[in-house]
Structure 1
Amino acid sequence: MSTKPTSTPEASSTSDSDGGNETPPLRVNRTKVGIRARPAPDGDMALTHPQLYFNREISTLQFHIRVLEQALDDAHPILNRVMFLLIFSSNLDEFFEIRVAGLKQALLIDEHAHSRDGQTYQQTLNEISDIAHEHVARQYQILNDVLIPALEQENVRFLRRSRWTKAQKDWVSDYFYREIQPVISPIGLDPSHPFPRLVNKSLNFIVELEGSDAFGRSGGLAIIPAPRSLPRLIRFPEAISGNGSVDYAFLSSMIHAHADALFPGMTIKGCYQFRLTRNADLSVNPEEVSDLASALKGELLARRYGDGVRLEIANNCPAHLADFLLNQFGLMDQDLYLVDGPVNLSRMMAVINDTHRSDLLYGPFVPGLPKPLKHRRGSYFDAVAQDDILLHHPYQSFAPVEHWLKEAASDPNVLAIKQTLYRTGPHSEIVSALADAARNGKEVTVVIELRARFDEADNIELASRLQEAGANVIYGMMDFKIHAKLMHMVRREQGELRHYAHLGTGNYHATTAKLYTDYSLLTADHKLCRDVHLIFQQIAGMGQPRQTHYLLHAPFTLHSTLIELIDREIEHVKRGCKGYILFKCNSLTEPRLIQALYRASQAGIECDLIIRSTCCLRPGVEGVSDNIRVRSIVGRFLEHTRVYYFRNANRPQLWCGSADAMERNMFHRVESCFPVLNQKLARQIKKDMDTYLLDNCQSWQLCADGHYERSTPSGDEEAISAQETLLYAYALKR
């Protein structure tokens, strides 16, 4: 695929860089999404053979494509479809900032290096480029040919400047001179004004000029950086739009329409928007750091100016300007993406709430509560002391976790609270409760992971806030991210100390708890709570790994125990029992776990894997993985639960945890994985998992050749959406 623009007569200051060239009609294919097909390998091979593994980066990219497909699914309300398209854009940004940037760095170290599937890093980058170019073009086709027309039918309009009425043009002109021009600083390029250092993912314009300026300098090129303080989408006043429509103009259109005002007396030959994506991964050398928080503050500034990895330009930009920008950023042709619309689509997310059209979004629902909490009269401690309580978010409310902590903060009998925080949000009720507890004289210890990607700045601020309140704040360890989701409380009851704990699969984040599927366990089980206490001691102090009764924890016992549980299932089958394994997690990449699952399949064990995103295991290979089925659920909520289930000779064991089946989680993070000891609750989770396996509306099956094929009801088969089924089962819709 050619990515280079061509110079055309239309590529001038009169062209609308919000979208230029004609595109072919969109071909919608909703049943099969994937990558370059690869034949299934011969089953007679070693389990370490490269052909038995899918490329991690390509598999991750496939997940983003499945998200994009939701934008075409009319089962979602129209604004939710827009949201999926914008999430695809945001996901792709991070994919380039982290994954592609990492591959480019690895190439500099060893150009012959390759991944587990046998591809060299350069081959992977080439394939990423092919797939990304295809689907970025498709993304803009969906936006321009499907979503914008559908929104227009609902009187929500994105107006290019060629469609502005005279009243709208006048209003834009006033807005430009009042709100935009005073904060814009164009930069002419000449020997005394070299090319500026542009911030990662910022909106910019390259302008070609003719004529002479006030100092006699002849025209050439200039750069207009759009200040990040300016909204990328501006809503017209209702009086200007009329007919009850909600109309928007893009900031880029406003700047294009008035670019000549920024260069008085000169002629603009062309003005074209562009955006540079940079390497945004943080790098902190533990041998050179004495204060992690201070080191991260410096790295956060550096993140904005990392090496370039992708250049997006309006598709009507002439080739010579595109070449100029590529040379400035040290990029190749395959790093160039020509787009038919705004280069910074994720900033359109503002339209979701700004339109005030709730009828174009999913209707609200009231999260449910488990029976022990529905008609609670007394203390949360009393309810948890009676029996374990399980919450399934977002179908059930996250509020009990917050309320329990708030109660603990003011309870005079609570002596100590310990908690991990990975992502929690800048205005967290959880953090407020912990600060109140510290002010109330309780021993509060908070383990904050400062390196939670893209939340580093918020976490540094929260750490300072907790320290000011008197809490003991621990930043974790240099070599291991603290990713476990744990809370531990000690309470004096009838003269003795009693332990309580919350263990979860998701973050202590009230907002994402409404969007992500996760499990929360509230427990007073003595041995389980003791295990949580031991993990906190291990994180905060020093010494050898502590022996836990029930809890598995990375990087020590989680990986080895999961393999032991798989091998135990194989032994049960050898003795004549029926085996079964079910995993549900976000990603599966760790090779020894994959090999253990291959051995289980070869032993005749049926394996169901519900893997939302990246999966390197190749299912359906005869003699190797023909008993393994892999599916991905993509729908209204982000699947985030981690569940590991083993039939165990009809004595089932079910585990939930914070860890995905990835190398980083197993060996480079502190993770927790807890057994659900209450069999009633374990059966409830297994029933939820069975619902996912019945899904034929939002489920994608991974095929042996690497493609994902969407499940659809056949014949008279009942249509089942797992998320809708669980929503009706747990929550009250209104």
Structure 2
Amino acid sequence: MKETTSREAANHYLNRDLSWAEFNWRVMEEAQDPTTPLLERVKFLSIVSSNLDEFMSVRVAGIKDQIKAGYTKKDFTGYTPAGLFKRIMKRSSKMVSEQYRTYREILRLLGKEGIYIADYEDLTVTQRKAMDEYYHEIVFPVLTPMAVDQARPFPLVRTQAVYLAVVLMKEGDDPEDEPYFAILQVPSNLMRFIEVPARANSKKHEFILIEELIEQHIHTLFSGYTAVSVQAFRLTRNADLTLNEEGAEDLLEEIENQLRRRRWGDPVRLEVQKGMHPYALKQLTEEFEITDNVFEIDGPIDLTYLMKLTGSLKGYDHLRYKPIESVYPAELDDIEDLFAKLRQRDVLVYHPYESFDAVTDFICQAAYDPQVLAIKMTLYRVSGNSPLIQALARAAESGKQVTVVVELKARFDEERNIAWARMLEQSGCHVVYGLIGLKTHAKITLVVRQEQDGLHRYVHVGTGNYNDNTAKLYTDVGLFTSHKVIGEDASALFNEVTGYSAPHNWKAFGVAPTDMMDKLFEKIRREAKHAAEGKPARIIAKFNSLSNQQMVDELYQASQAGVKIDLIVRGVCCLRPGVPGLSEHITVRSIVDRFLEHSRIFYFENEGEPEVYIASADWMTRNLTRRVELMCPVFDKDIQQSLINILQLNLRDNVKARQLQPNGLYERVTAGDDEPLRSQFEAMRISSWKTTAHEG
């Protein structure tokens, strides 16, 4: 009986990793959608690859670690690590097959537009001559063939680099003899694709992949031997950092050391070119001790190169989205003194429809303003040439107290953040690396200014990173405010992160890992109580992922009490909506479109007195229990309404929205008899989310 109950309970939840696979399928659908401009489809196909790379190097790597450790306990969705791994491999294999089928279809369509990934054999004599010269002058000097034999052990293979496996026979040897084996790294510091000189009187753009060019000239690297086969492979290693923060005297140095180790983490996935020579495959699988996660690739290994290819093509505007014209927020336009404006009213910005320049200007004005005494800021992921870094450095050099909480553990951005941390320290900024054992993921800036009537605090709180590049690609909201209570909480938050402070009794904020989850539970339970009493009760929440079991259970209980709950979840969702007696009042939708949906906005009906919050946190266990996260209330009624309008736009999307079904699959929302509404395109008309009446 207990086993049956446990199985039924597990059926209430969707598995996090399988849900992620469904998300990547939605990304693939954008690559397959004929209404998506062709070069944008190419980008989406590249994103499918990069998503899968991260999934394998982090999530699948963790599952394999559990299997290796003999862990057999089921998770709350009913899967053992071994069972989950088997299911993931089946789903991922199907995904990769579909990915390369889509790749071939896109190549066909690109050919109609005069863009070709050519085979060397199809080039003209003149083109081959040009490619031969490129090989000998540019490629050949960089190549290093590495033989594998008794005297020369298997060389270390870098994670996610493309290599060639070369099977060789010595001239005059018996074909029945064991062949020779070597590997060769495809240079990662050269362009993966090479533009071929145009044919006479042709406007076609032709490219050849560098590995094919190397294969055609493989004889230049192994004189006296004949290449029996030359085929590509790629290894993905475990990319999780294992940090001993308490034992590290200098966290920055410890992370640098771990980054070097990441390159040689345990093998997780092996990709091999279709038809790999049996001897080469045996050499690779034995060396990497991997047989259960080998993908045979019917095409070029690693399609992430497609992103750079689209960027290299000049013209072809008809194959791209029209450039978005981000507008400067009207409330801040033509304002000389931004602080004077913020003393009068709060301001909301919605990226990328409104320009990130407003955030940059806020930091820059604070840096140069002689009345500003201090600037405090969290940095999680910043761009390669961030103007914010320059402004903070200038502020410190001019004598202001500048404190920057730099999160060194932002996965795959660690090296960049280390570089910024060192630069800021050299400029005189106080650089803090956060709290031991916790990532600092909150997005907040505090400016302290001396004015005639005393000190004033100005705060920016955002849902996205302080990154001017991703602010053009991600949808995020940010709040500028001089609200006294928010300013006091902001000061307390920085004191807690940078110094020794007991957990604060927050007046406005919800802060993870201390009290954010409890505050969310309290608000969900309040809505459930109101519903049970026959009062209006509603929850609308928008975020990236939902995987915390307690949170799912709280939402189930609220649904059973009669609360109408609409969740807008871009990625992972472990909640199973629409199940009678469990979640029939809950809907879950995902929007995958031109921009990456990244905003975190929470709405609670509160018996006709709505509460609206913006946050840095998704509703995942890691965000709620293992990170410093921030949830900030919005007090201004007009801004509350604007945020509600954003949520309603998402709920009305019938072009790019998919609705999660009880079986765990997503179905595209269709317009039916209604007018088609694409929420991102509608939001580009800035007024639509600032003036549309609330549609409850």
Fold shared, TM-score > 0.5 on shorter chain? yes
Are 2:509 and 1:547 equivalent residues in the alignment? no
Q: 1:132-143 residue pairs with structure 2 within 5 A? A: 132-143=92-103
Tell me the residue number matched to 1:126.
Answer: 86
Instruction: Indicate if the aligned counterparts of 2:532 and 2:562 stay in contact, CA closer than 8 A.
Output: no
| Distance in structure 2 (CA, Å) of the matches to 1:416 and 1:235 | 51
Alignment check: 8 A CA contact 1:365 1:731 kept: no
Q: Which deviations, in whole Å up to 9, do the C-alpha atoms of 1:284-303 show, x marking residues without a partner? A: 02343111100000011111
Structure 1 residue 318 and structure 2 residue 277: aligned?
yes
Secondary structure class of the residue paired with 2:643 = helix
Q: Which residue of 667, 686, 689 corresponds with 1:729? A: 686
Partners of 1:514 and 1:170 in 2: CA distance: 42
- 1:447-468 CA deviation, whole Å, 9 max, x = no partner? 0000000000000000000001
- The CA deviation at 1:495 is 4.7
- 1:477 aligns with one of 417, 430, 435: 435
C-alpha distance 137-679 of structure 1, shift in aligned 2 (>3 A): same
Q: Deviations over 1:562-621 (max 9, x none)?
A: 000000111112222021111110000111111110011101111100000000001111
In the alignment, which residue of structure 2 is the partner of 1:101?
61
Q: Which residue of 1 aligns with 2:290?
A: 331
- Using the alignment, how far apart are the partners of 2:540 and 2:7 within structure 1? 20
Q: State how 1:397-476 maps to structure 2 within 5 Å.
A: 397-476=355-434
Does structure 1 conserve the Cα–Cα contact (< 8 Å) formed by 2:602 and 2:612? yes
Q: 1:384 aligned to 342, 347, 353, which one?
A: 342
Normalising to structure 1: TM-score of the pair? 0.91
Gaps of 5+ in 2: 690-696
Query: C-alpha separation between the residues in 2 aligned to 1:96 and 1:390?
Result: 38
Deviation at 1:86, TM superposition (A): 0.3
Closer, same or farther: CA 78–346 of 1 in aligned 2, 3 Å? same
- Give 1:83's match in structure 2, choosing from 23, 32, 43: 43
- State the partner residue of 2:692: none
Contact kept, 8 Å, 1:398 with 1:513, in 2: the verdict is yes
Q: Secondary structure at the match of 2:659?
A: strand
Amino acid at match of 2:384: P
Number of aligned positions between the proteins: 682
Partner of 1:614: 572
* Residues 604-648 of structure 1: per-residue CA shift (max 9 Å, x gap): 111100000000001111100011000100000000000111111
Q: Which residue in the other structure is 1:54 paired with?
A: 14
The equivalent residue for 1:717 is: 674
Letter in 2 for 1:498: H
Alpha-carbon offset, residue 218 of structure 1: 8.6
**Amino acid paired to 1:574:** A
How far apart, in 2, do the equivalents of 1:140 and 1:84 lie?
13
Is the Cα contact below 8 Å between 1:415 and 1:443 reproduced in 2? yes
| Aligned residue among 114, 117, 123 for 1:155 | 114
CA distance 1:107–1:338, change in 2 (3 Å) = same
Distance 1:639 1:427 in 2: 24
Amino acid at match of 2:282: D
1:625 and 2:583 are equivalent in the alignment: yes
d(CA) in 2 for partners of 1:297, 1:712 = 49
Cα contact 2:329–2:358 (8 A) shared by 1: no
Q: Deviations over 1:245-274 (max 9, x none)?
A: 111100111011111121112111111000
User: Aligned match of 1:203 in 162, 178, 182?
Assistant: 162
8 Å CA contact 1:279, 1:307 repeated in 2: yes
Separation in structure 2 between the aligned mates of residue 241 and residue 295 of structure 1, nearest angstrom: 57
**Percent of aligned positions that are identical:** 37
Question: Which residue of 2 is the match for residue 29 of structure 1?
Answer: none
Q: Does 1:256 align with 2:218?
A: no
Q: 1:433 to 1:152 in 2, by over 3 A?
A: same
CA contact (8 A) 1:188 1:221 kept: yes
Letter in 2 for 1:619: P
Kindly provide the CA deviation profile for residues 120-174 of structure 1, in whole angstroms up to 9, marking residues without a partner as x: 1111110110011111011111111x21111111111111223222122111111
Whole-Å separation in 1 of the counterparts to 2:516 and 2:5: 28
Distance change (3 Å), C-alpha of 1:218 and 1:261: farther
Distance 1:529 1:194 in 2: 61
Correspondence for 2:694? none
Partner of 1:506: 464
Q: Secondary structure at the match of 2:562?
A: coil
Please give the alpha-carbon distance, in whole angstroms, between the structure 1 residues aligned to 2:201 and 2:469. 35
Flag the 1:411–1:729 CA change in 2: closer, same or farther, 3 A. closer
Which one-letter code corresponds to 1:232 in the other structure?
R
Q: Measure, in 2, the Cα distance between the counterparts of 1:182 and 1:576.
A: 77
User: Retained in 2: the 8 A contact 1:367–1:730?
Assistant: no
For structure 1, list consecutive stretches of 5 or more residues without a partner in the other structure: 1-43
Question: Does the 8 Å contact 1:503/1:521 carry over to 2?
Answer: yes
Matched-pair contact (CA < 8 Å) for 1:388–1:522: yes
**C-alpha displacement of 1:431:** 0.8
Write out per-residue CA displacement over residues 485-512 of structure 1, whole angstroms, 9 at most, x where no aligned residue.
Answer: 0000011111511110000000000000
- Structure 2 CA distance for aligned equivalents of residues 288 and 551 of structure 1: 32
Residues 242 and 586 of structure 1: is their aligned pair in 2 closer, same or farther, counting only changes over 3 Å?
A: farther
Inter-partner Cα distance in structure 1 for 2:92 and 2:121: 30
Distance (Å, rounded) in 2 between the aligned partners of 1:708 and 1:241? 49
Work out whether residues 181 and 280 of structure 2, in 8 Å CA contact, stay in contact via their aligned partners in 1. Answer: no
- The answer to whether 1:172 aligns with 2:172 is no
Alignment map for 1:620-699 (pairs within 5 Å): 620-699=578-657
TM-score (norm 2): 0.96
Distance 2:417 2:321 in 1: 31
RMSD: 1.8
SS at match of 1:445: strand
**Is the Cα contact below 8 Å between 1:97 and 1:277 reproduced in 2?**
yes
* 2:59 alignment partner AA: R
Q: Secondary structure at the match of 2:230?
A: strand
Residues 1:515 and 2:473 are matched in the alignment: yes
Distance in 2 (CA, whole Å) between partners of 1:111 and 1:261 is: 50
Q: Name which structure has the greater RCO, CA cutoff 8 Å, separation 6+.
A: 1
Match for residue 359 of structure 1? 318
Q: Deviations over 1:397-424 (max 9, x none)?
A: 1101101111111110000000000001
Q: Distance in 2 between the 1:47 and 1:573 partners?
A: 30
Q: Distance in 2 between matches of 1:218 and 1:94?
A: 37
The aligned residue for residue 296 of structure 1 is 255
Cα distance in 2 for partners of 1:256, 1:476 equals: 49
Asked if 1:493 is matched to 2:456, the reply is: no
Q: Secondary structure at the match of 2:617?
A: coil
Find the aligned partners of 1:48 and 1:549 in 2 and give their Cα distance: 41
What SS does the corresponding residue of 1:689 show, helix, strand or coil?
Answer: helix
Q: Is the 2:381–2:467 contact (alpha carbons within 8 Å) kept by the matching residues of 1?
A: yes
Q: What is the aligned partner in structure 1 of residue 693 from structure 2?
A: none
SS at match of 1:288: coil
Q: Secondary structure at the match of 1:373?
A: coil
Contact 2:328 2:357 in 1 (8 A): no
Q: Is the 8 A contact 1:212 1:218 kept in 2?
A: no
Distance 1:401 1:718 in 2: 35
Once residues 406 and 398 of structure 1 are traced to their aligned partners in structure 2, the CA distance between those partners, rounded to angstroms, is 13
d(CA) in 2 for partners of 1:261 and 1:316?
Answer: 24
